Copies of this chain bind each other. A is one copy, B any other.
């Protein structure tokens, strides 16, 4: 039995490595997990119970591919407040933002088509893209977002169909794309007739400073597709995200959603809608922000105390991750597998699995939202000390 060629891609192994690094006795900075103590479990229980009791007669029936209308209205209003003008008809509910990545790739990419991703980028996006066998072009991430000079060089020489970016608190580097680059990126997309996929799962999770408008705000030609998600602001197991795009792109995406899984769960959509009717999501997000800011600050402070001088971290303004920069040539994957995990019981995601093909190896993504404050304290200390040891002249000379 011969499998399709798409199965020979490698990104899935990156995802596997990521889950393997989440064994119970390990302090995991590898996952992308929210803090489970923040899930509004009781409120969601009431919301679902209310849907079962008071919801309409179609609660358990097939519904529509686009998704539950009142929830689409609420999401359109939220996005409009955030700079993305949208009506309910412009919103498609998806099986997490992940499905939005999959459907966008399915919409646009023939095998071999040019796809620009940030290097490093979200490994799950690579797993989705792989299925469509694109030709990857990787553009480095700078402190203020994607390197647009590098991007322009690609656009000038290659036919690119799609640019995938996470402008806010990028996964994995935690960086924010500057205002100037946002405008310039959309202008480049216009000039070279490229679609931009703007993945915005962390957009509500800013801990310091002020949010910039989303890329979609600058989009005058209907070529930015925006993805949102309840996973980081409510709970991942709801598996609900949303997508907004121009009618020209949204209509065929909806048709593809029908083929992929018919529709999202009406029960899930009505339950979440009921939660939003009876609770203040913004107040809940404020609670999340306060918690994650404290965790982020502790991780930054602890790492700065224990990391050797040759290693640097950033101090992200929001999101789930900070980035650890290691000395040139230092292999973070090898360090994790052969020293950090076995000797210190700490894990992270090494840079090497977050770039298509072979990227730089001297970096790592550290998650600060999933672990407890105590785990952050001891794990960051252990990580710093393990790097001190690994980078000491004695160990290096062996």
Query: In the bound complex, do residue B260 and residue A98 qualify as a contact, i.e. CB atoms below 8 Å apart?
Result: yes
Instruction: Indicate which residue in B36, B60, B124 contacts A235 across the interface (CB closer than 8 Å).
Output: B60
Cβ of A374 within 8 Å of any chain B Cβ, yes or no, is no
Query: In the bound complex, do residue B237 and residue A4 qualify as a contact, i.e. CB atoms below 8 Å apart?
Result: no
Stretch in A43-51, A137-145, A345-353 touching the partner: A43-51
CB neighbours (8 Å) of A266 from chain B are 237
A interface vs B, CB < 8 Å? 1-7, 11-12, 15-16, 19, 31-34, 36, 39, 41-42, 44-45, 48-49, 52-53, 57-64, 95-96, 98-99, 102, 106-111, 113, 124, 127-132, 161, 193, 195, 223, 231, 235-239, 248-249, 252, 255-256, 258-268
A69 to chain B, nearest CB (A): 15
Question: In the complex, A252 Cα to B48 Cα: how many Å?
Answer: 34
Nearest-CB residue, chain B, relative to A45: B52
Chain A contact surface mostly: helix
CB neighbours (8 Å) of A249 from chain B are 1
Query: In the bound complex, do residue B96 and residue A262 qualify as a contact, i.e. CB atoms below 8 Å apart?
Result: yes
Query: In the bound complex, do residue B248 and residue A1 qualify as a contact, i.e. CB atoms below 8 Å apart?
Result: yes
A-B contact pairs, 27 of them (CB 8 A): A1-B108, A1-B193, A1-B248, A2-B161, A3-B108, A4-B132, A5-B110, A7-B107, A7-B256, A19-B64, A33-B61, A41-B59, A41-B60, A58-B237, A60-B236, A60-B237, A61-B236, A95-B261, A98-B259, A102-B259, A102-B260, A102-B261, A124-B258, A127-B255, A128-B260, A237-B266, A265-B265
CB neighbours (8 Å) of A263 from chain B are 239
Task: Assess A99 versus B260: contact at CB under 8 Å? Given A6-B106, A36-B57, A267-B238.
Answer: yes
CB neighbours (8 Å) of A106 from chain B are 4, 6, 131
CB neighbours (8 Å) of A110 from chain B are 4-6
Task: Assess A239 versus B265: contact at CB under 8 Å? Given A3-B108, A52-B45, A111-B111.
Answer: yes
* Further 8 A-B residue pairs, CB within 8 A, beyond A1-B223, A44-B52, A49-B49: A1-B108, A3-B252, A6-B106, A33-B62, A36-B58, A44-B60, A238-B265, A239-B261
Query: In the bound complex, do residue A61 and residue B235 qualify as a contact, i.e. CB atoms below 8 Å apart?
Result: yes
